[in-house]
Amino acid sequence: MLRRNSSEINTGSMADIAFLLLIFFLVTTTMEVDSGILRKIQQKPETQEKTIIKEKNILDVVINSKNELLVENKTININNLKQIAINFIDNGAGLDKNKLPCDWCNGFKNPNSSDHPSKAFITIQTNSNTNYGVYIKVLNELVAANTYLRNKLSKKKYRVSYNQLLDRFKIDKSKSLINKIENIKSKYPLLIADIENTN
């Protein structure tokens, strides 16, 4: 009587191969990581200097418990915030700390608004019941205002936007490019601060 040999496939090494493939794909795959908000919470310095800032050089932005937006105690629509911030930062009605005028500003030169972009502080005050999404939208509009002014000045001076300079910087870290970026940043510094709710 003939015996039929059952032909079995040896699968003992299949688990090893699957494991090696898994390791290979884990090592070679790149993953997109959300960078989050490019803003760091400042630590309190050990020695605090008292800085005197004129009231007209501060733009108060308040988000109340009902998520309403108030600028200088007037309720506004969030869609108008960017233009209000641009007008405030770019006002150019006075001199900087070195007694120099803002010869690149195109603002209304309102004597009741900010003197110079280097003195134009924007404060954001929130309530404990403020929605975080609303806060992010407000912050985004204020940063967009600053970026708009930087792009405009960079196009005027270097014929490319500030954002394009930053994109080039990822490839080219030359001294001249760094100087251009720092020059634009110094003309329109981002002076946004969160203040504690005193209510």
- Residue 73 amino acid letter: N
The mean pLDDT value of the chain amounts to 86
Mean pLDDT calculated for residue range 105-123: 93
The three-state secondary structure class of 91 is: coil
Distance CA 99, CA 79 (A): 34
Please give the pLDDT value at position 41.
47
Residue pair 124/192 in contact by the 8 Å Cβ criterion: yes
Residue pair 67/82 in contact by the 8 Å Cβ criterion: no
Tell me the per-residue pLDDT of 138-160, one tens digit each, with 9 for 90 and over. 999 999 999 999 999 999 999 99
More confident residue, 77 or 129: 77
Distance CA 117, CA 57 (A): 9
Identify the band that residue 7 occupies on the pLDDT scale cut at 50, 70 and 90. low
Residue whose tokens read 């930053």? 166
Distance CA 186, CA 188 (A): 5
Identify the band that residue 42 occupies on the pLDDT scale cut at 50, 70 and 90. very low
Sheet with 69-71, side-by-side order of all strands: 74-76, 69-71, 58-63, 121-126, 192-195
CA dihedral (23, 24, 30, 32) in degrees, to 10, reads -40
- In terms of Cβ atoms closer than 10 Å to its own Cβ (0-12, 13-18, 19+), residue 21 is exposed
